[in-house]
């Protein structure tokens, strides 16, 4: 198995939580709904919520389309992964155009917000940012007959907390990084470019003066 790519980001282990409150943002709650849709039974979802709050899940490594973590459950440790489809090149380009077409979209994202309007405009352009249950894939060697298993559901619920805290987690999973949405920098002039422009302008002016000098009818008083 290959190691994480250079785009991977690892989040530290989330300590135990007593609170049963769910995501605070609308996009975080949308992620939770997708996890609930992916679950086969309420009992599995209940067990996954308890496991996600227990502090038994190690650091989460997030890469384009994938999250992986070690899940400690009873006496076992399971290497669990969850997946979300990346945007294809056409969808990624359409998303970049949506972000660029309206002032404030990029600023909101950089401030940790995911505007409703951005998501709506993306959907109109054929780009689904928020996943639904059928899109969430998982892998765990625990041998459970359902997929996703309790361990994978617990990992996905913790990812919901990460998405809740930073919409870039969602965008990275979809294959989009902050660098992708930044406007291209304006190239700096090469060394000596300004001097060359001044020299060309001076040469043009000198040629004009010489042509006037050769013209007996020319008025040169303004040049003196």
Tens of pLDDT, residue by residue over 99-138, are: 998 889 999 999 999 999 999 999 999 999 999 999 999 9
Task: Identify the CA nearest to 125 among candidates 84, 93, 100, 103.
Answer: 93
What is the maximal distance between C-alpha atoms in the chain?
Answer: 104
Task: Identify the CA nearest to 176 among candidates 99, 82, 80.
Answer: 99
CA 174 to chain centre: 7
Helix (H, G, I), strand (E, B) or coil at 218: coil
pLDDT band at 204 (very low <50, low <70, confident <90, very high): very low
User: Average pLDDT of 54-64?
Assistant: 95
pLDDT band at 219 (very low <50, low <70, confident <90, very high): low
Mean pLDDT for all residues in the chain: 84
Residue 119 host element (H or E): helix 116-124
Percent of the chain at pLDDT exceeding 90: 68
């Amino acid at each position: 198995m290959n190691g994480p790519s250079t785009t991977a980001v690892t989040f530290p282990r989330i300590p135990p939580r007593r609170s049963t409150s769910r995501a605070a943002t609308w996009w975080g709650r949308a992620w939770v709904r997708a996890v609930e849709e992916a679950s086969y039974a309420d009992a599995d979802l209940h067990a996954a919520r308890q496991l996600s709050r227990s502090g038994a899940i190690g650091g989460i490594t997030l890469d384009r389309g994938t999250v992986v973590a070690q899940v400690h459950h009873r006496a076992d440790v399971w290497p669990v992964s969850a997946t979300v489809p990346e945007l294809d090149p056409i969808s990624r380009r359409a998303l970049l155009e949506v972000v660029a077409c309206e002032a404030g979209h990029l600023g909101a994202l950089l401030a940790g917000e995911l505007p409703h309007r951005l998501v709506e405009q993306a959907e109109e352009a054929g780009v689904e940012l928020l996943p639904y249950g059928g899109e969430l894939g998982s892998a765990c060697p625990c041998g459970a007959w359902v997929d996703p298993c309790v361990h994978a559901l617990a990992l996905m619920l913790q990812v919901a907390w990460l998405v809740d805290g930073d919409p870039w987690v969602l965008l990275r999973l979809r294959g989009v990084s902050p660098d992708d949405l930044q406007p291209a920098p304006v190239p700096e002039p090469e060394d000596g470019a300004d001097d060359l422009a001044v020299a060309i302008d001076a040469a043009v002016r000198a040629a004009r003066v010489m042509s006037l000098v050769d013209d007996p009818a020319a008025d040169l008083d303004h040049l003196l």
